[in-house]
Amino acid sequence: MNPFSLRNSIVSRMLIVAVLGTVLVIPISLVTGLIQDRRHTRAEAVSEVTEKWGRQQTVTGPILTIPVKRKHKLSHGTIKPYIVHAHFLPDSLDCNAELSPLIRYRGIYKVVLYTVGLHLEAAFSAPAFSENESADSEILWNDAFLTLGISDLKGIKGIHKAACEDSPLTPEPGLRTKDLVQAGFTFRTPLSPGQSRFRFVLDAGLNGSEELRFVPLGKTTQVRAHSSWADPSFVGDFLPEERDITDSSFKASWKVLHLNRNLPHFWIGPQPNLESSSFGVKLLLQVDEYQKNWRAVRYAIMFVALTFLAFGMIDVLNRSPFHPVHYTLVGLALVLFFVLLLSVSEYRSFNTSYLVASLPNIFLISAYTRGVTRRWGVAAVIAGVLVALYGFLFVLLQLEDYALLLGSMGLFLSLSLVMFLTRRIDWFGMGSGKTREEEGPGLPELPLG
């Protein structure tokens, strides 16, 4: 195809532009990969800090465990004793957590940390074994112990108080059984067969990051959490019954019954599903710049298509032919906007970054259009279209819940405008390669200077 036929055949140019738009999917996908790489880099930076300070904490317990000695008769008649562990959950569990948030930096990345003052009270009723268990086995009352699960032991700042019915208890590092949790510590609590109801009290300090969770082990579990953090997210299996969120703090309280969770109150042996019903709070950062960048890139194809459509309408209606090279350079400038947005948003707020990335791009494409067409009117139209598109995309990113509705309405209006402007065009005549004089009147022309 020679240059003259390409200049005068709008259909040929539009087909080439369609191919170029498809090819631009490649650099757009590279931008998406870049966002994921930067997100992974941030995750590694956060992990380096939280690994030394304390990761997300899950508090499990306390759980009362009583060893039971059983006997197993082998095939040749020898009796071999072995130990199993009977576990009892508390009748009531009350937790009070006062979180003090901290912001730390690893390079350019923010890390949300916290220290928590934890007050915990648990009431246990007298452990009850079945008659068969009591007759056929030896219950080791003096070896009873309490287990408290802490998911990241590096975060333990100190045990300020631990007592059972006003008798001080000494925490012992490590676990005496892996039936319950993977990390934590124990308290020796010797019991007697006629042991009545008793209460366990604990005051402790923990370091953690982002999330604090609790496992509802009591027949009635009540948890209260408060902090000077204004952006909490309540996570896990249960939402708080009451919450009060202000511009500078939050308070929340949960109440969970044993009927709400799929756990027995007493069992023997391992229980792998203890943490399956955990709940708590997550300290959110106000802006996740990578999430918003990823959402912006999802609209990149639509963004490029609408911009190309604007150039195509000017090409058709005002006879300002654009070469495929012009479309290519404009398309690359549009893709570069998303790279600029990502890079600037790592240092500034997303809204500021959007403004910083979009204004130079609008100026660049408008000035390039002016240089190609030598007409200020065409450049002004392109500038107006780009301002409208960037504004439309910004609104879509802000109104996440209504993005689909607003986006579909915007596309409908765009299609309606194109259909209105091109309603009288003789597409068959335009595809024949005729010159302007041969085509005659009937093709509307925009007065773009």
Task: Show the domains of the chain with their CATH numbers.
Answer: 3-40+290-439 (no CATH), 55-286 (2.60.40)
40-62: pLDDT as tens digits: 888 888 888 888 888 999 999 89
Residues with Cβ within 8 Å of 20's Cβ and at least 6 positions away in sequence, in order, are: 308, 324, 327, 328, 331
| Whole-angstrom distance, CA of residue 200 vs CA of residue 25 | 62
| Whole-angstrom distance, CA of residue 57 vs CA of residue 212 | 5
pLDDT of residue 407: 66
| Whole-angstrom distance, CA of residue 204 vs CA of residue 186 | 14
**Res. 424: pLDDT tops 60:** yes
Give the chain as a 3 state SS string.
Answer: CCHHHHHHCHHHHHHHHHHHHHHCHHHHHHHHHHHHHHHHHHHHHHHHHHHHHCCCEEEEEEEEEEEEEEEEECCCCCEEEEEEEEEECCCEEEEEEEEEEEEEEECCEEEEEEEEEEEEEEEECCCCCCHHHHHHCEECHHHCEEEEEECCHHHEEEEEEEEECCEECCEEECCCCCCCCCCEEEEECCCCCCCCCEEEEEEEEEEEECEEEECCCCCEEEEEEEECCCCEEEEECCCCCEEEECCCCEEEEEEEEHHHCCCCCEEECCCCCHHHHCEEEEECCCCCHHHHHHHHHHCHHHHHHHHHHHHHHHHHHHCCCCCHHHHHHHHHHHHHHHHHHHHHHCCCCHHHHHHHHHHHHHHHHHHHHHHHHCCHHHHHHHHHHHHHHHHHHHHHHHCHHHHHHHHHHHHHHHHHHHHHHCCCCCHHHHCCCCCHHHHCCCCCCCCCC
**Res. 120: pLDDT tops 60:** yes
147-161: pLDDT as tens digits: 999 999 999 998 999
Return the number of other C-beta atoms located less than 10 Å from residue 119's C-beta. 16
**Res. 123: pLDDT tops 60:** yes
Residue with tokens 């918003």: 292
**Res. 94: pLDDT tops 90:** yes
**Res. 429: pLDDT tops 70:** no
pLDDT of residue 256: 92
Residues with Cβ within 8 Å of 3's Cβ and at least 6 positions away in sequence, in order, are: none
Quickly state the pLDDT bin for 6 (edges 50, 70, 90).
Answer: low
**Res. 432: pLDDT tops 60:** no
325-381: pLDDT as tens digits: 888 888 888 889 999 998 898 888 888 889 999 999 999 998 988 888 888 888 888
Contact (CB, 8 A) for 216 and 90: no
Quickly state the pLDDT bin for 439 (edges 50, 70, 90).
Answer: very low
The CA-atom distances, in angstroms, between 177 and each of 64, 98, 171, 245 are 12, 30, 15, 40
238-257: pLDDT as tens digits: 999 999 998 888 999 999 99
Quickly state the pLDDT bin for 271 (edges 50, 70, 90).
Answer: confident
181-240: pLDDT as tens digits: 888 999 998 887 777 788 999 999 999 998 999 999 999 999 999 999 888 889 998 999
Write down the pTM of the prediction: 0.72
Angle at 374 between CA 373 and CA 378, to 5 degrees: 60
State the average pLDDT for the chain. 82
Q: Which of 98, 97, 207, 106 is closest to 153 using CA atoms?
A: 207
pLDDT of residue 436: 42
